[in-house]
């Protein structure tokens, strides 16, 4: 039987990643379908390891990054380094990789840009 905490974490993670996709104008049908596939996989994963449910939001964000890399390229692009002449456009990382309270972080500068789910605030 599914634990309520597991399902809550899945819904919270889905909502957070969808908010970030929307903030970047990347919440089209293909991207939402990829998110649903990731949710399905993480639901199974968290059923196998219920204590890991708190990690689901960050893992979903990483899953979508990986899926979008194949279809659309790096996502989300780093706003900290945008426009800096000697820096190639690069994606933000999710930190911690496996932990609670995931944030989007610039891998070059180490600046925490926004919590996962609140990328819109960093785009203002």
How does residue 118 score in pLDDT terms, banded at 50, 70 and 90? Answer: very high
| pTM for the structure as a whole | 0.91
d(CA 27, CA 42): 19
Those residues whose C-beta lies under 8 Å from the C-beta of residue 71, and which sit 6 or more positions away, are 30, 34
d(CA 106, CA 112): 6
What is the span of the domain harbouring residue 115?
Answer: 2-121
SS3 80: coil
| R_g of the chain, CA atoms, integer Å | 14
| Cβ atoms within 10 Å, residue 10 | 22
Q: What is the total count of domains within the chain? A: 1
How does residue 40 score in pLDDT terms, banded at 50, 70 and 90? Answer: very high
């Amino acid at each position: 039987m599914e634990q309520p905490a597991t399902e809550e974490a899945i819904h919270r993670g889905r909502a957070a990643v969808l908010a970030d996709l929307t903030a970047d104008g990347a919440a089209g049908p293909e991207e939402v379908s990829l998110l649903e596939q990731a949710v399905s996989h993480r639901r199974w994963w968290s059923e196998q390891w219920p204590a890991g449910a708190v990690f689901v939001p960050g893992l979903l964000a990483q899953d979508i990054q990986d899926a979008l890399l194949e279809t659309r390229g790096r996502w989300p692009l780093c706003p900290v380094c945008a426009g800096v002449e000697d820096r190639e456009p690069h994606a933000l990382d999710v930190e911690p990789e496996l932990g609670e309270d995931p944030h989007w972080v610039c891998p070059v500068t180490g600046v925490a840009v926004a919590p996962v789910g609140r990328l819109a605030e960093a785009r203002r």
